[in-house]
A and B are shown apart, each in its own frame.
Chain A
Amino acid sequence: MGTETVRALKGISFDVEAGEFVTIMGSSGSGKTTLLNTLGCLDRPTDGTYLLDGVNVGTLSRNELAKLRNLKIGFVFQAYNLLPRTSALENVELPLFYNTAFSSNQRKEKALQALEAVKLADRLDHTPNQLSGGQQQRVAIARALVNEPVMILADEATGNLDTRTSFEIMALMQELNQNQGKTIVFVTHEPDIASFSSRTIMLRDGKVIRDKPNDNKRFAKEVLASLPISDDY
């Protein structure tokens, strides 16, 4: 309120290389959200520099930021944020509507490929309320992939899902990272989830308190196989 300035992030510095799978961890108030907004080009840093794929984000206008988000970043949110009463295919197509480079047929084609990548090719015409939470999140991941961004930015992407489904999503993330070389920055507060990534950055009170590769990286596919099969369904 008023003129008091709050510094959410204080002099943090790190690089994310192409093809990395990084988790950012921290409790609430640690500056996680601010960092995510900055990384996602939703907000410009008031001080310091942020280079995304060689572009200095701090100097860009609102419209240029929008263009950057469209071309270089794929968001995956905790609440999926799919358009209601809209088919999976059209939800995935959405980012392409803001990218004038594609014709209507190319849009369909690319959206279809993205849905195939998340193994939802058989759910093209389903609307979000006809899909389970995990499936909805996979549609959201397809939407993040469709414009072939340099980075996928996931914000608590497993926060609304049960353990099994969370692991399924993580397995998908690992697959995208390993097989297709996608760079993924994954924000979470669950150490369980962080253990699937290759590197963890820990924030506290706006500072990086730990930044190192995960020694015992787990593979979601294996964990999934070892989970007891629940007889609920």
Chain B
Amino acid sequence: MKIFILIRIALKALQRNKLRAFLTMLGIIIGVAAVIAMVAIGQGSKKSIQDQLSSMGSNMITIRPNSNVTAGVRLDATTVQTLTIADVKALEKEGQYFDKISPAETSKGQVINGSLNWSTTMQGVSPDFLDIRNWPIRDGVVFTQTDVNSAAKVCLLGQTVINNIFSPGEDPVGATVRFNKIPFRVIGILAVKGENAFGQDQDDIILAPYTSVQERITASIYFQNIYVSAKNESLTDSATNEVSRILRASHRLKPTDIDDFAVRTQEELINTFSSTSQLLTVLLTAIAGISLIVGGIGIMNIMYVSVTERTREIGLRMSIGARGIDILMQFLIEAILISITGGVIGVLLGITASKLVSAFLHWPTLVSESSIALSFLVCAFTGVFFGYYPAQKASRLDPIDALRYE
């Protein structure tokens, strides 16, 4: 028997009971729409975290001091100071997989302009820092290597700092502000970067040459971080290994010594944060999956009712030449049609729901093809699985009994 004839027979049977077919479908529709919307919300939040992290510079590699053993005492990471200008020079000289290097020395302090003041952070960096972080300036110029060499008292201000110590309409470029009593001339304004994935305000910052911060404010020869950027994203791993190798040599570590520094890539951070939202996605999907099973049981229930109700029809079909397999296929295809149609409507509804969530709640959503494909497969499977037993029951009816059924 040709399959399209069976599909036509099943379609006609469904048409005879439109409302019931729709109500049966509703379970599947809700289930699929829930899966699509939940996964879209989960994927959306995952992607927005990824985007935020890579906006910090996706090639960025962060080097920080790590716990060190000094005379047998293991010190914790924050108190250890191991990164020096010698490391930076070594990295500059030997690095092949990375091209930009910036040390970073941070100091908290009070910045003053006229009668206004603000507690903020000054970060001493090299001119490369802005490239590594993908951070353009909005106005003015960036300090140069010459400024670094001369420990010039120049700085770039973030938007939050400007908002707090300049009155509206005042042009910060060219003004002189004092940070911890040291006067710095403002030569540029950083573009607004907003909050990072951790909710920190990235614009609450002043950037200055690292030499200026080290020599004039912190009086330290150590750096809290060194940032390098790999030449491209695929070289991140090679660059990470290279950094380790150069720093071990520069720190004169013996092969048996543990690293006194830690190298982190953005990718690791992305993975850490993705795993959280992945867990969320799995949980939401599991809940939605349960509603699909409930929908499937609904189909099974209705198909059983339908088989009983149509016993005489089955008897008639058998008496005019339908084989058991024809009856089985008819009811199975009915179940599959219900679940697939429900699936299609559910997918459309799920996409619409995700769009509405984006539009009204401003949550990021991302409808992934894989979730659509998956719900579709699950739907087809649900139809086959839950439709099979009722269909089998129908196909095994005795034509004589079925014809006489009241």
Interface residues of A (CB under 8 A from B): 37, 40, 42-43, 62-63, 66-67, 69-71, 75, 77, 79, 81, 83-86, 90, 94-95, 97-100, 143, 147
Indicate whether B267 reaches chain A with its CB closer than 8 angstroms. Answer: no
CA distance A71 to B320 in the complex (A): 8
Min CB gap A49→B, angstroms: 20
Indicate whether B93 reaches chain A with its CB closer than 8 angstroms. Answer: no
Closest chain A residue to B321, Cβ basis: A70
Min CB gap A202→B, angstroms: 23
* Chain B residues within an 8 Å CB radius of A67: 321, 323
* Chain A residues within an 8 Å CB radius of B316: 77, 81, 83
Interface contacts beyond A85-B16, A86-B16, A99-B321: sample of 11 additional A-B pairs, CB < 8 Å, sorted by A: A42-B403, A63-B325, A66-B321, A69-B319, A77-B316, A77-B403, A86-B12, A94-B317, A97-B1, A98-B323, A100-B1
Does B318 lie within 8 Å of A66, measured CB to CB? Answer: yes
Indicate whether B201 reaches chain A with its CB closer than 8 angstroms. Answer: no
Min CB gap B400→A, angstroms: 5
Does A70 lie within 8 Å of B320, measured CB to CB? Answer: yes
Closest chain A residue to B402, Cβ basis: A42
CA distance A98 to B312 in the complex (A): 17
29 intermolecular pairs with C-beta atoms under 8 Å apart: A40-B319, A42-B400, A42-B403, A43-B400, A62-B323, A66-B318, A66-B321, A66-B323, A67-B323, A69-B319, A70-B322, A71-B321, A75-B319, A81-B312, A81-B313, A81-B315, A81-B403, A83-B313, A83-B316, A84-B16, A86-B12, A95-B321, A97-B1, A97-B5, A98-B317, A98-B320, A98-B321, A98-B322, A100-B2
Closest chain A residue to B401, Cβ basis: A42
* Other-chain residue from B8, B12, B321 in contact with A69 (beta carbon distance below 8 A): B321
Does B403 lie within 8 Å of A98, measured CB to CB? Answer: no
Indicate whether B390 reaches chain A with its CB closer than 8 angstroms. Answer: no
Min CB gap B395→A, angstroms: 10
Most chain B CB within 10 A, of A84, A86, A97, is at A97
Min CB gap B255→A, angstroms: 78
* Chain A residues within an 8 Å CB radius of B9: 97
Does B12 lie within 8 Å of A98, measured CB to CB? Answer: no
* Chain A residues within an 8 Å CB radius of B318: 42, 66, 69
CA distance A100 to B1 in the complex (A): 6
Most chain A CB within 10 A, of B12, B316, B321, is at B321
* Chain B residues within an 8 Å CB radius of A79: 312
Closest chain B residue to A81, Cβ basis: B316
Closest chain B residue to A77, Cβ basis: B403
Interface residues of B (CB under 8 A from A): 1-2, 5, 8-9, 12, 15-16, 312-313, 315-326, 399-400, 403
* Chain A residues within an 8 Å CB radius of B325: 63
CA distance A214 to B320 in the complex (A): 31
* Chain A residues within an 8 Å CB radius of B320: 69-70, 75, 94-95, 98, 143, 147
CA distance A83 to B15 in the complex (A): 12
Closest chain A residue to B320, Cβ basis: A95
CA distance A147 to B320 in the complex (A): 10
* Chain A residues within an 8 Å CB radius of B5: 97
* Chain B residues within an 8 Å CB radius of A42: 318-319, 399-400, 403
CA distance A42 to B400 in the complex (A): 6
CA distance A90 to B11 in the complex (A): 13
* Chain B residues within an 8 Å CB radius of A97: 1, 5, 8-9
* Chain A residues within an 8 Å CB radius of B317: 94, 98
Does A37 lie within 8 Å of B321, measured CB to CB? Answer: no
CA distance A44 to B355 in the complex (A): 62
* Chain B residues within an 8 Å CB radius of A70: 320-322
* Chain B residues within an 8 Å CB radius of A86: 12, 16
CA distance A131 to B306 in the complex (A): 25
Min CB gap B7→A, angstroms: 11
CA distance A83 to B403 in the complex (A): 13
Does A90 lie within 8 Å of B324, measured CB to CB? Answer: no
* Chain B residues within an 8 Å CB radius of A81: 312-313, 315-316, 403
Most chain A CB within 10 A, of B5, B8, B319, is at B319
CA distance A97 to B320 in the complex (A): 10
Top 4 A-B pairs, shortest CB-CB distance: A70-B321, A98-B321, A66-B323, A95-B320
CA distance A43 to B321 in the complex (A): 13
CA distance A37 to B317 in the complex (A): 15
Does B326 lie within 8 Å of A98, measured CB to CB? Answer: yes
CA distance A99 to B317 in the complex (A): 12
Min CB gap B327→A, angstroms: 10
Closest chain B residue to A37, Cβ basis: B400
* Chain A residues within an 8 Å CB radius of B324: 62-63, 66
Closest chain A residue to B12, Cβ basis: A86
